[in-house]
Amino acid sequence: MNDVGTINGLILAGGKSSRMKTDKSLLEYHGKPQRDFLFELLTPFCRKVHLSCKQCVDIPPHYNPIPDQFDLDSPLNGILSAFQVAPLSAWLTVPVDMPWVDETTLKFLINHRNPKKIATCFWDSTGKLPEPLLTLWEPHATTLLSEFYTNNGFSPREFLVRFDANIVAAKQPEWLKNINSVQEFDQFRNSLHHKL
């Protein structure tokens, strides 16, 4: 089957969560584990949604887990591993620690897609560098990503800079905020209560 033109979803959940001291994919920002929320969020936009993880132990099969295939402690591992599974597909990656990502975010990113570039992503909060994990990676990025890794590259951000990705400004800056600590998680939950 020719996958060109299709988009697969990838929930990036392979991090150590060392500062949070718990599995970030299981935190509940929206009344359910974040990996479930993102799975449901991505499904309408993607042919198939997968969960990127270090290994498949204890991951239910309905998440279509993709374990890390490379000796690399970086989110690049999950992206490279996804392209091993479907090299002719575009991959829409979303990290589990960005709870403000919603349907509007994904529509905005897809609507600004430039398939001629290796990827479409947002400028980060500084406005000077790409945000590498909330990104739509094009199929033709797969060979460049492999060569980048072979040449000791490990940073998805560095890759996006080097190969001139299509970078757009986020309509809402909070889309890009991530939650890395218990304190930040509590602040997010409190902000939700204030909105209710």
Indicate whether this model's pTM tops 0.95. no
Would residue 84 count as lying in a domain?
yes
**Confidence (pLDDT) at 195:** 55
Would residue 150 count as lying in a domain?
yes
Would residue 2 count as lying in a domain?
no
Query: What residue type is assigned to position 76 of the chain?
Result: L
2: confidence class by pLDDT, cuts 50, 70, 90? very low
pLDDT tens, 18-48? 555 678 999 999 999 999 999 999 999 999 9
State how many domains the chain has. Answer: 1
Q: Give the helix ranges, DSSP H, for the chain.
A: 34-42, 76-85, 103-111, 141-150, 156-162, 182-195
Would residue 16 count as lying in a domain?
yes
CATH number at residue 129: 3.90.550.10
Would residue 119 count as lying in a domain?
yes
Would residue 117 count as lying in a domain?
yes
Q: Which domain holds residue 160?
A: 7-195
Would residue 1 count as lying in a domain?
no
Distance between CA atoms of residues 141 and 153, nearest Å = 14
